[in-house]
Amino acid sequence: MDKVKVLDKTFKVSISEAEIQQRIKEIATQMNKDLEGKAPLFVCILNGAFMFASDLFKQITVEDASITFFRLSSYVGTKSTGKIKLIMGFTEDLKDRTVVVLEDIVDTGITMQNTIEQIEGHNPKEIYIATLIHKPEACKVPLKLDYIGFDVPNKFIVGYGLDYDLMGRNLPEIYTLDEDEK
């Protein structure tokens, strides 16, 4: 599908399903080297990262890898509200663990910075950050992103876990808001 309508807006395909899957395979291969012997705990940031986390985690082969979930909410409509609400924290003991944060998208970076601060409070040994999508032009805070799937322009996207007002998460490709529409 080249174009999709999600609620009132039209989106054009920008990253195909095959490109996403290929890139995830490459990231997993790199992680399997970097994380060997570290018994990493993956932390999937809900809701958006669930699809990325699922496809990636299936390809992680390092011994004693586990996954948990952390839920934050920051967006209303297509603009960031700048407010981050913690909806669900975790119960796992992170002390001295290697933690790998899995995020769908780093836009301004504020959500990620907030997430990292919260995780650091649990005294992990080290934190790796993986994001499927990065918007370099939108980034407002310094972040060390260890794994980036794709750099994209500063435009609103949907699909592959990312929503527009809760819709569009089920699309297997990533779509960008059509230029002709605002």
Helix (H, G, I), strand (E, B) or coil at 136: helix
Helix (H, G, I), strand (E, B) or coil at 120: helix
Q: Where are the alpha helices (DSSP H) in the chain?
A: 17-34, 50-57, 110-120
Please identify which residue in 20, 51, 104, 171 interacts with Mg ion, judged by CB under 5 A.
104
Please identify which residue in 11, 35, 101, 104 interacts with ligand 5GP, judged by CB under 6 A.
104
Closest CA to 55 of 94, 22, 84, 98: 22
Part in contact with Mg ion (CB under 5 A); list of ranges 13-21, 46-54, 81-89, 112-120: 46-54
Label residues 120-140 b or e (16+ Cβ within 10 Å = b): eeeebeebbbbbbbbbeebbe
- Residue 52 CB, shortest distance to ligand 5GP, in Å, is 11
111: contact with ligand 5GP by CB under 6 A: yes
Q: Report CA torsion sign: 136, 132, 70, 85.
A: positive
- Residue 66 CB, shortest distance to ligand 5GP, in Å, is 22
Please identify which residue in 69, 90, 150, 156 interacts with ligand 5GP, judged by CB under 6 A.
156
Could you say which of 64, 104, 107, 180 is catalytic? 107
- Our CB check for ligand 5GP shows the closer of 32 and 108 to be 108
Q: Which does 173 bind (CB under 5 to 8 A by kind): ligand 5GP, Mg ion, none?
A: none
131: contact with ligand 5GP by CB under 6 A: no
Q: Show the tokens assigned to 105.
A: 């998208």
Closest CA to 54 of 41, 65, 64, 67: 67
Q: Can 180 be counted among the known catalytic residues?
A: no
- Our CB check for ligand 5GP shows the closer of 38 and 107 to be 107
Question: Binding residues for ligand 5GP, per CB under 6 A?
Answer: 48, 74-75, 80, 103-112, 156-158, 162-164
